[in-house]
Amino acid sequence: MALALRFFTCLVLTVCIVASVDAAITCGTVASSLAPCANYLTKGGAVPVPCCAGVKKLNGMAQTTPDRQQACRCLQSAAKSVNPSLASGLPGKCGVSIPYPISMSTNCNTVK
């Protein structure tokens, strides 16, 4: 019994360590954070305050390289359905600096 418990504990710890290396940000997280931006990203106009709050929240969550790379991929996927110039300028309009351009040509694998 003790051996089985020890094995299970080691297995759980290994899974936790491996999982912590992967990105914590999901495309669902990106989508929900940027949902208040949908109208702006398709029609333009004034950037809503809740939109910038979502941009800032998302930027704060993307603290590791895997998180930033995943956020980049999610943004690229979402950018297909919005105005690309509005999407690329959104962080600046919200006073947020991100380490890569929001563009379909960005290689998300090189984002650090």
Domain boundaries, the chain: 27-110
Question: pLDDT (tens digit, 0 to 9) for every residue of the chain, 112 residues total?
Answer: 443 333 333 333 333 333 334 678 999 999 999 999 999 999 999 999 999 999 999 999 999 999 999 999 999 988 888 999 999 999 999 999 998 889 888 999 999 9
User: In the structure encoding, which two tokens stand for residue 96, read together?
Assistant: 């947020």
Element spanning 20, H or E: helix 2-21
How much is the pTM?
A: 0.75
* Class of 27-110 in CATH: mainly alpha
Of 20, 55, 17, 21, give the one whose Cα is nearest residue 36. 55
Q: What is the pLDDT of residue 24?
A: 86
Q: What is the pLDDT of residue 22?
A: 63
Mean pLDDT of the residues in the chain: 82
pLDDT tens digits along 83-99: 999 999 999 999 999 98
